[in-house]
Amino acid sequence: MKAMLKGLFLCLTMHAFAQHRDLDLVLGKKAPELINNMQVEVYEAFDRMRAAAAKKGIEIKVVSAYRSYNRQREIWNTKYKAFTQEGLEPKNAIKKIITYSTLPGTSRHHWGTDIDIIDNANPQPGDVLLTEKFYDNGPSSALRDWMNDNAATFGFFEVYTNSPNRKGFAHEPWHYTYRPLSKSYLEVLTTHALSEIAEDDQLLGRAFLDNEFFNTYTSAHILDINPILFAQE
């Protein structure tokens, strides 16, 4: 009996530890093992995809991959300061931040599974992550066409599609996720309350994040993404 209880206790502690560890990885508070800022499995799939694209004259360059919670908070706080100094009310400043940037702890870049890419085969003057650069004759348009046809073969999918009914983050033709891994990260994230994730004294505008914000942010920004990222295998 004693041994059984001990075994049960050990099992429960390990379970609690696993959950805790998973959450830290999901929130960007702990980094997974990374190669070139991607999880090992993601990098291996990426490298195969990069080689295939190179044969077609497309030079995939990663401009952003893994990003920590602290880095995301810096981005959030910098934008919050800038927008409120421009005269925006706090709630409107937050609305503007979440056009493209996430609430720290909820970025898919925390997972080491998501990448922002451009085509480095063409000259890329100025800001490289602009939607128009991925369309018409833009420097990353051939990359977008190629990814549309081939990315899924390597496990990569666009997250913030140009579907006209999609809410949440603006269309990001540069942002791809490695679905075989990111699917479970999204599941863990959605089981945790955003109000708890946002309990951070150093997060600017924290006082203006209310339940209404958390609810719409969850349904639009976290969940209104490419539906294939939820689909059962």
- Share in percent of the chain as helix, strand, coil (round to 5): 50, 10, 40
State the minimum distance, in angstroms, from the CB of residue 114 to Zn ion: 6
State the minimum distance, in angstroms, from the CB of residue 113 to Zn ion: 11
Nearest to 185, CA basis, from 28, 3, 1? 28
State the minimum distance, in angstroms, from the CB of residue 110 to Zn ion: 11
Nearest to 117, CA basis, from 39, 222, 46? 46
Residue 42 tokens read as: 């993601």
State the minimum distance, in angstroms, from the CB of residue 64 to Zn ion: 6
Enumerate residues 6+ apart whose C-beta is below 8 A from 184: none
Would you say 73 or 175 has its CB closer to Zn ion?
A: 175
Would you say 88 or 220 has its CB closer to Zn ion?
A: 220
Residue at shortest CB range from Zn ion: 175
Would you say 158 or 198 has its CB closer to Zn ion?
A: 158
State the minimum distance, in angstroms, from the CB of residue 222 to Zn ion: 14
Positions that interact with Zn ion (CB under 5 A): 116, 175
Would you say 115 or 142 has its CB closer to Zn ion?
A: 115
Enumerate residues 6+ apart whose C-beta is below 8 A from 60: 46, 49, 50, 53, 54, 117, 118, 119, 120, 143
Would you say 144 or 175 has its CB closer to Zn ion?
A: 175
> For strand 38-39 and strand 60-64, is the pairing parallel, antiparallel, or unpaired?
unpaired
Query: Residue 177 belongs to what H/E stretch?
Result: strand 175-178
